[in-house]
Amino acid sequence: LTAGDFTATIGPPCTGITSLILFTGLFLFVVLLDWKKINKKTLLWIYPIGATGMFILAFIRLYVLFLVGANWSKEFAMKGFHNNASWIIFVLYFLIYFYITYPKMINKQNRKL
């Protein structure tokens, strides 16, 4: 893809599939860790929302990468932003996602007042 005079190839890892796999693994880890406390019905809507959010963030990350590369610095876009944005965005998203959704996943009788 090209934006202005900035060109980059989008490979499979850039599509967000790696982040989705990591998200799924961490999601399952948390669910299995608290399996007895989890309201299983909520998983039917909480996981798809989280997975969709991962893909949306992957597209936003690519969009910002091209904005930075085309309008600011090609070198920073590829060496700074590209190399670090994925893991920073993933960690922030995962923490915020679970902060919001975890209380909704827990059965009401297991929630602290």
One digit per residue, pLDDT tens: the chain, 113 residues?
Answer: 676 677 776 776 667 788 899 999 999 999 999 999 999 999 999 999 999 999 899 888 888 888 888 787 777 777 777 778 888 989 999 999 999 999 999 987 766 64
pLDDT at 113: 46
Number of structural domains in the chain: 1
- Domain around 58: 34-105
CA 1 to the chain's CA centroid = 22
CA dihedral of 96, 10, 71, 84, whole degrees rounded to 10:
40
Instruction: Kindly tell me the sign of the dihedral angle through the C-alpha atoms of 8, 10, 16, 17.
Output: negative
pLDDT at 63: 85
Is the overall model pTM greater than 0.85, yes or no? no
pLDDT at 111: 61
| Residue where the block lists tokens 């999601």 | 27
Q: Tell me, yes or no, whether 82 lies in a domain.
A: yes
